[in-house]
């Protein structure tokens, strides 16, 4: 009975993990293809003096009508901008910085699994020869030349205008005056830490009529659909102590904006590993709106519904972040920017594991070796608990004959059979839940590690043996096959006593099911699973050998 309960609990755990992994691995749509960026200077030269398009003719958001306004004529101008750890282009078209590329990161190669290529080849979709990894090595872009950090306007969200640029080097002022006399002034200066800028947006309405709302935004080119775990750039924000996203562009493309109200910490655009965002230096309760501009750019917009009276001015001070979602760097900046690194429900454990992984990496240099070192550490921590579980499982096997006697003796009285069985457990010192407790305890660690492998920029572009990116799936499929073999071997070491034929058949299918999921998981995570199960097999073998060589005390029937 106890062994059967053990198996049923394990089956329940397995089913929960299957449902979770199916949702993670298959329900989310694939990310849109992203072409590697060209050098900023080359793109700016190809697109002319104002590479960010022509916002002077930009129309308002879909479904919103803006009054026709002729902005002050300004000369088109684009200048290179070299910040701390990044470079970009500051343009009179919007008075913003775009084309932002990082100095210390490069693009990761495109990973193509051989089975994906084979299916496409058989379907007539490609004539190219298979290559596990292609491309990579170009400067990592966090905003393309059509992107902009610091768009601003009044009234309904729409396009910005042309600005008069004044300054040089890393300090600039961009000024725009519209036909009503409203002045928008943007001041840009170096930040205190790498990847940051100090940005101030001032609305001067001393010469114009009252306006109903002010807005400031961060936009970039976006297309296609993206799931929660796809690495595609999307609007993001931290509002009212909650992280918000826009994954599906179809609703906002139809004119339905996404709005979030409350205290605003930061807003911007980004993917799993990098982002461009504006963090408010002064607390403000307002709204963040995710919307698309008519030219197809999507973004996050701070919307202040208080408006601005005639003769008044108002300024918004920001820290602009353009860089990786690195916990240490983001925590140094503050303003809750570190909440952009999303580890999920088990985030507390994820942060601990990432810290330990960083410590291990400093000692062994390679991230793959660091994962193996972390596996050993986790296994050592859980060793006593796992040992007790294995011993408990062996004791359960030893009292199986007595349990069957009880079931046969009290087959017409299930309540009394349960009482006698529990008494047997107590007399023999057996815990019926002891076999599955380690699995329950370690589940938060598994999910936490999954979050680390999926969302830690520290592992971005990391290499180990034949793998060029531990955050991507194994394109050769070797690790998933190794995992399948190991879990099959482990299963052979665990007799299926107490299970009916249907349950035994399901247990035998689990290696195939879990192996199938491993083909979609980050290879770093599969590496951890392989190392963990190998150590588990070794521990189980030692226990089996100990029980086989040690005379067991004969248990007495009740």
pLDDT score of 413 more than 80: no
Low-confidence winner among 83-92, 394-403, 498-507 (lowest mean pLDDT): 498-507
Last residue of a domain, one of 342, 370, 392: 342
Are 314 and 396 in a shared domain? no
Are 396 and 289 in a shared domain? no
Are 165 and 285 in a shared domain? yes
Are 295 and 370 in a shared domain? no
Are 202 and 316 in a shared domain? yes
Are 439 and 540 in a shared domain? yes
pLDDT score of 87 more than 70: yes
Closest to 342 in 3D by CA, of 448, 425, 442:
448
Are 460 and 523 in a shared domain? yes
Q: Give residue 490's pLDDT band: very low, low, confident or very high (50, 70, 90).
A: confident
Is the distance from CB of 318 to CB of 294 less than 8 angstroms? Answer: no
pLDDT score of 21 more than 60: no
Are 237 and 372 in a shared domain? no
Low-confidence winner among 30-34, 140-144, 229-233, 547-551 (lowest mean pLDDT): 30-34
- Pairing between β-strand 234-239 and β-strand 196-204 as defined by DSSP bridges: unpaired
pLDDT score of 267 more than 60: yes
Are 420 and 327 in a shared domain? no
Is the distance from CB of 137 to CB of 107 less than 8 angstroms? Answer: yes
pLDDT score of 512 more than 60: yes
Q: Write out the two tokens for 325.
A: 């979602």
Last residue of a domain, one of 342, 376, 394: 342
Are 316 and 169 in a shared domain? yes
Q: Write out the two tokens for 290.
A: 């995710």
pLDDT per position as a tens digit, 158-214: 878 889 999 888 999 999 998 888 999 999 999 999 999 999 999 999 887 889 899
**How many domains does the chain contain in total?**
2
Are 389 and 468 in a shared domain? yes
Is the distance from CB of 160 to CB of 215 less than 8 angstroms? Answer: no
- Indicate whether 121 belongs to any domain: no
Give the mean model confidence (pLDDT) for residues 522-550.
79
- Indicate whether 437 belongs to any domain: yes
Are 518 and 383 in a shared domain? yes
pLDDT per position as a tens digit, 34-69: 333 444 444 444 443 333 333 323 333 333 333 333
Tell me how far the alpha carbon of residue 89 is from its chain's centroid.
Answer: 28
Give the mean model confidence (pLDDT) for residues 366-395.
79
Low-confidence winner among 24-28, 302-306, 446-450, 468-472 (lowest mean pLDDT): 24-28
Is the distance from CB of 529 to CB of 518 less than 8 angstroms? Answer: yes
Q: What CATH number did the domain enclosing 201 receive? A: 2.70.98.90
**Residue 143: its pLDDT value, please?**
92
pLDDT score of 308 more than 50: yes
Domain range for 158 is: 81-107+142-342
**Residue 514: its pLDDT value, please?**
76
**Residue 431: its pLDDT value, please?**
63
Q: Give residue 345's pLDDT band: very low, low, confident or very high (50, 70, 90).
A: confident
Of 22-31, 94-103, 425-434, which has the strongest mean pLDDT?
94-103
299 vs 234: CA distance, rounded Å: 7
Last residue of a domain, one of 283, 310, 342: 342
- Indicate whether 406 belongs to any domain: yes
């Amino acid at each position: 009975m106890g062994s059967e309960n053990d198996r049923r609990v394990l089956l329940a755990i397995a089913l929960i993990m299957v449902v979770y992994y199916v949702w993670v691995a298959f329900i989310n749509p694939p990310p849109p293809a992203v072409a590697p960026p060209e050098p900023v200077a080359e793109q700016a030269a190809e697109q002319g003096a104002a590479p960010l398009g022509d916002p002077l003719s930009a129309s308002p958001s879909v479904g919103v009508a803006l009054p026709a306004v002729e902005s002050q004529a300004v000369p088109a101008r684009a200048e290179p901008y070299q910040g701390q750890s990044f470079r970009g282009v500051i343009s009179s078209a919007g008075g913003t910085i775009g084309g932002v590329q990082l100095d210390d990161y490069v693009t990761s190669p495109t990973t193509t699994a051989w089975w994906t290529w084979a299916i496409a080849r058989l379907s007539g979709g490609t004539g190219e020869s298979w290559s596990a990894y292609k491309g990579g090595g170009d400067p990592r872009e966090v905003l393309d030349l059509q992107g902009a950090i610091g768009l601003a306007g009044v009234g309904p969200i729409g396009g910005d205008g042309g600005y008069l640029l004044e300054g040089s080097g890393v300090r600039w002022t961009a000024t725009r005056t519209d036909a009503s006399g409203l002045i928008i002034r943007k001041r840009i200066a170096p930040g205190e830490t790498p990847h940051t800028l100090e940005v101030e947006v001032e609305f001067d309405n001393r010469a114009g009529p009252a306006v109903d709302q002010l807005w400031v935004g961060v936009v970039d080119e976006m297309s296609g659909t993206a799931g929660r775990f796809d690495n595609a750039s999307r609007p993001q924000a931290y509002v009212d102590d909650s992280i918000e996203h826009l994954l599906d562009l179809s609703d906002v493309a139809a004119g339905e904006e996404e709005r979030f109200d409350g205290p605003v910490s930061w807003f911007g655009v980004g993917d799993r590993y990098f982002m461009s965002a504006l963090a408010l230096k002064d607390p403000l309760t307002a709204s963040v709106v995710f919307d698309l501009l008519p030219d197809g750019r999507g973004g996050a917009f701070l919307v202040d519904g208080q408006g601005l009276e005639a003769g008044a001015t108002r300024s918004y001070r920001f820290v602009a972040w353009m860089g990786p979602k690195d916990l240490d760097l983001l925590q140094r900046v503050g303003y809750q920017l570190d909440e952009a690194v999303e580890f999920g429900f088990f985030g507390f454990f994820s942060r601990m594991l990432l810290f330990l992984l960083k410590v291990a990496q400093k000692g062994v240099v390679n991230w793959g070796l660091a994962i193996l070192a972390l596996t050993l550490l986790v296994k050592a921590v859980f060793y006593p608990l796992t040992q007790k579980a294995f011993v408990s499982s062996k004791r359960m096997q030893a009292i199986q004959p007595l349990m069957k006697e009880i079931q046969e003796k009290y087959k017409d009285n299930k309540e009394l059979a349960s009482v006698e069985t529990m008494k047997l457990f107590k007399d023999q010192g057996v815990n019926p839940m002891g076999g599955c407790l380690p699995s329950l305890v370690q589940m938060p660690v598994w999910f936490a590690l999954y979050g680390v492998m999926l969302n830690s920029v520290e592992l971005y572009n990391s290499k180990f043996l034949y793998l060029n990116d531990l955050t991507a799936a194994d394109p050769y499929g070797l690790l998933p096959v190794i995992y399948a073999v190991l879990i099959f071997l482990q299963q052979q070491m665990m007799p299926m006593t107490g299970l009916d034929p249907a349950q035994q058949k399901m247990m035998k299918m689990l290696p195939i099911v879990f192996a199938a999921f491993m083909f979609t998981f980050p290879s770093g995570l599969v590496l951890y699973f392989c190392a963990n199960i190998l150590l588990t097999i070794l521990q189980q073998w030692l226990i089996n050998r100990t029980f086989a060589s040690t005379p067991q005390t004969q248990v007495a029937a009740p």
